[in-house]
């Protein structure tokens, strides 16, 4: 199954982390911004070029350390269709460098429209009889509010999805913690995910239907790990959102598998936090990614994944 591609890479790099490429313009070093603005003006084109160059340099310093990157679509859509082109280029470049790419798009809609989203992010679109790959990511995040109709189309491309279960943000409980009988809403979603993924279980015992569970809710993370043995977790909220290595160990099973931990700002803005030279921003990101990997492996007991 497709999820095995991600797990193979986690084991090969001995690193269960993913770098979130959330390229706000204020994160990009001035020398890159100036170069892009010189070429394209202080415009959406210029901004899109800057975030692409920022990402490319980061990927060049990260690809041998981490198994995956997760570009967050909103930060590209903020720069228009030009930004979305940078999103596309980022995905293709990361794949060229052997990275597993999770398109963080949280898409959702009724059946026919969900099929269009699935085609865009995971499949091939038909143009006059030709099949053309569009964004061609390895995985996408999906919001299941509309039920199976909105999720099933994403399962038809032999790729991976991560469905929102218990999100990392402060107000996540407003709906997700509503109790229906003895189960919360997010527990209901978790049960559906187990069911939806049951026909797509791979060689490591995990299915192509993963779950998004925030590191900022470590108790729920641990409980869900036990109740969802075949579900791979994408875990945001590590680093800048507040969670550390101790909060996320509950996301892993006894083999040290079962989760990939995301960090965005802590890694891509490491050069700002460390107060080092702008030119060294990608090297600073690399060092932070190595430290994150080492901290997590140590928290897991130091064994081999």
Q: Is 141 left (phi over 0), alpha (psi -120 to 50) or beta?
A: beta
User: For the chain, what's the residue count?
Assistant: 305
Regarding 277 and contact with a second copy (CB under 8 A), the answer is: no
Residue 226 appears among annotated catalytic residues: no
Pick the closest to residue 291 from 19, 29, 71, 60 (CA basis).
19
Q: HEC states along 126-138?
A: EECCEEEECCCCC
Please identify, among the stretches 121-129, 222-230, 273-281, 296-304, the one whose residues bind a second copy according to the rule CB under 8 A.
Answer: 121-129
Pick the closest to residue 56 from 86, 26, 76, 27 (CA basis).
86
Which residue lies nearer to a second copy by CB, 240 or 300? Answer: 240
Regarding 117 and contact with a second copy (CB under 8 A), the answer is: yes
Regarding 110 and contact with a second copy (CB under 8 A), the answer is: yes
Regarding 52 and contact with a second copy (CB under 8 A), the answer is: no
* Contact between residue 134 and residue 119 where contact means Cβ atoms under 8 Å apart: yes
**Euclidean distance between the first and the last CA atom of the chain, given in angstroms as a whole number:** 19
Which residue lies nearer to a second copy by CB, 25 or 245? Answer: 25
Which residue lies nearer to a second copy by CB, 15 or 187? Answer: 187
| x-or-dash string of contact with a second copy, 199-238, rule CB under 8 A | -------------------------------------x--
Work out whether strand 139-142 and strand 130-133 pair parallel, antiparallel, or are unpaired. unpaired
Please identify, among the stretches 114-122, 221-229, 250-258, 270-278, the one whose residues bind a second copy according to the rule CB under 8 A.
Answer: 114-122
| Binding positions for a second copy, 137-156, rule CB under 8 A | 143-150
Among 156, 179, 278, 301, binds a second copy (CB under 8 A): 179
Least Å from the CB of residue 128 to a second copy: 4
Regarding 42 and contact with a second copy (CB under 8 A), the answer is: yes
Regarding 44 and contact with a second copy (CB under 8 A), the answer is: yes
Catalytic residue among 106, 131, 203, 298: 106
Regarding 31 and contact with a second copy (CB under 8 A), the answer is: no
What whole-number distance in Å separates Cα of residue 212 and Cα of residue 233?
6
Among 27, 87, 232, 238, binds a second copy (CB under 8 A): 87
Which residue lies nearer to a second copy by CB, 48 or 297? Answer: 48
Regarding 37 and contact with a second copy (CB under 8 A), the answer is: yes
Instruction: Kindly report the backbone phi and psi dihedral angles of residue 179, in degrees, each rounded to the nearest multiple of 5, phi listed first.
Output: -100, 130
Regarding 189 and contact with a second copy (CB under 8 A), the answer is: yes
Among 61, 173, 205, 295, binds a second copy (CB under 8 A): 173
Q: Residue 209, Cβ neighbours under 10 Å: how many?
A: 28
Please identify, among the stretches 100-108, 222-230, 247-255, 270-278, the one whose residues bind a second copy according to the rule CB under 8 A.
Answer: 100-108
Among 5, 8, 25, 222, binds a second copy (CB under 8 A): 25
How many amino acids of this chain bind a second copy (CB under 8 A)?
Answer: 73
Regarding 80 and contact with a second copy (CB under 8 A), the answer is: yes
Place of tokens 């909060």: 247
Catalytic residue positions, numbered: 106
């Amino acid at each position: 199954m497709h999820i095995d591609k991600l797990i193979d890479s986690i084991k090969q790099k001995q690193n269960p982390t993913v770098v979130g490429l959330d390229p706000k313009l204020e994160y990009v070093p001035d020398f890159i911004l100036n170069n892009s603005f010189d070429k394209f003006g202080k415009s959406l084109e210029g901004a899109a070029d800057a975030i692409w160059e920022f990402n490319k340099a980061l990927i060049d310093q990260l690809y041998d350390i981490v198994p995956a990157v997760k570009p967050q679509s909103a930060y590209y859509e903020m720069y228009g269709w030009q930004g979305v082109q940078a999103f596309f280029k980022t995905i293709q470049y990361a794949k060229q460098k052997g990275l597993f790419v999770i398109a963080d798009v949280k898409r959702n809609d009724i059946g026919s429209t969900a099929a269009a989203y699935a085609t865009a992010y995971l499949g091939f679109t038909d143009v006059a009889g030709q099949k053309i790959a569009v964004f061609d990511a390895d995985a996408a995040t999906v919001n299941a509010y509309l039920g199976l109709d909105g999720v099933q189309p994403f399962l038809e491309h032999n790729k991976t999805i991560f469905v929102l279960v218990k999100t990392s943000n402060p107000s996540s409980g407003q709906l997700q913690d509503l109790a229906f009988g003895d189960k919360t809403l997010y527990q209901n979603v978790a049960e559906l995910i187990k069911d939806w993924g049951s026909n797509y279980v791979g060689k490591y015992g995990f299915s192509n239907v993963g779950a998004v569970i925030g590191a900022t809710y470590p108790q729920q993370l641990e409980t869900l790990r036990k109740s969802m043995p075949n579900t791979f977790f994408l875990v945001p909220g590590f680093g800048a959102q507040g969670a550390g290595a101790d909060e996320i160990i509950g996301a892993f099973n006894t083999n040290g598998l079962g989760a990939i931990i995301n960090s965005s700002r802590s890694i891509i803005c490491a050069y700002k936090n460390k107060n080092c030279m702008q030119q060294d921003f990608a090297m600073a990101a690399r060092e932070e990614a190595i430290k994150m990997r080492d901290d997590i492996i140590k928290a897991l007991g130091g064994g081999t994944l």
